[in-house]
Amino acid sequence: MGWRLGPVGLPSPGKSAYYLGLGVLAVGEVVEWPVAAAIAAGTYVAQHTRRQASAVPQVWHVSHNGHQQEAGV
């Protein structure tokens, strides 16, 4: 969870440290800047596209022919 500073949203300290560390690695030429940018973009997308967990877990059964079927269907 991030912080709010008036109308501006700030990332959590852990996320800030992650991106700062990634930037330091790029500036120190430990990783190339395009690689660091791709990692940062991938991390951002992964964190913002997670589906919300369902309140009721879905149970799947595999039929004899290998197809998945939702339980109770």
In sequence order, the 6+-apart residues with CB closer than 8 A to the CB of 16 are 10
Count of structural domains within the chain = 1
pTM over 0.75: no
Range of the domain at 53: 3-70
- Nearest C-alpha neighbor of 61 from the set 72, 51, 71: 71
Question: 27: which 2 tokens?
Answer: 């500036």
**Tens-digit pLDDT profile for the chain (73 aa)?**
667 778 877 778 888 899 999 999 999 999 999 999 999 999 988 888 876 555 555 665 566 665 555 555 4
